[in-house]
Amino acid sequence: MNPAETVILARYVRALCPQQRFDEYTPDAWYDLLRDYELQDCKDAAVEIARRQPWIAPAEIIAEVKRARTGRLDYFQYEPTPGETGAQFTHNLRAQIADVIDGHRPPALPYVGSPRPVLELTAGVGHDVPETWETSTTRVRSALDISCPNPACQAAAHKPCKTPSGKRLAGYHGSRTDAAKAAA
């Protein structure tokens, strides 16, 4: 980031956080701290921080930029080219990681999956694939899968049991546990 971009960032942060105080020296100080980062990364980080709190510090921008840049490597997988030497692999891998961190994703590889239909693929499994799913085939796995039969509670399925005063129980009513065992 150059000094002119730092002025843009300071003005942007001032717009995001109007209660934060800025003076004519703020962009100079922020430039000393943020000159190694890209303007767009810093603006994106400022937006994320402004969603959480009313003031933005340069250290928070740096931390958010680092988190975002590291997050860009999620699901990254380098695909070496055939015949690539070890030195070429290392060079290409480092270059591609740097590009991904900077926000430039390589193009997606074309899908080379099987064109065969799913029923053809599952034909050799040993059982028939049902045409429709029946709701009666669901099974009770826990007491939360059924509603509580306790007259004081009557919690719906997938909702926790409650006391008569409305407080959540740490466990289940005994009648709900017994009903779940009977349903299983």
Using the 3D structure, point to which of 26, 51, 71 is the last residue of a domain: 71
Count of H helices and E strands in the chain? 7, 0
Beta bridge partners of 9: none
Residue 13: which domain range? 3-71
The dihedral through the CA atoms of 170, 173, 176, 182 has a sign that is positive
For the chain, the domain total comes to 2
Is 89 a member of any domain?
no
Is 13 a member of any domain?
yes
DSSP code for 158: T
Using the 3D structure, point to which of 45, 71, 97 is the last residue of a domain: 71
Is 42 a member of any domain?
yes
Per the confidence metrics, is the pTM higher than 0.85? no
Burial (0-12, 13-18, 19+ Cβ within 10 Å), 52: exposed
Give the CA angle between residues 150, 156, 159 to the nearest 5°. 105
pLDDT surpasses 90 at 159: no
Instruction: Tell me what the pLDDT averaged over the chain comes to.
Output: 84
d(CA 181, CA 177): 6
Using the 3D structure, point to which of 56, 71, 86 is the last residue of a domain: 71
Is 146 a member of any domain?
yes
Is 107 a member of any domain?
no
Is 48 a member of any domain?
yes
Is 132 a member of any domain?
no
Is 87 a member of any domain?
no
pLDDT, one tens digit per residue, over 97-140 is 888 888 877 666 666 666 666 666 666 666 665 666 555 555 66
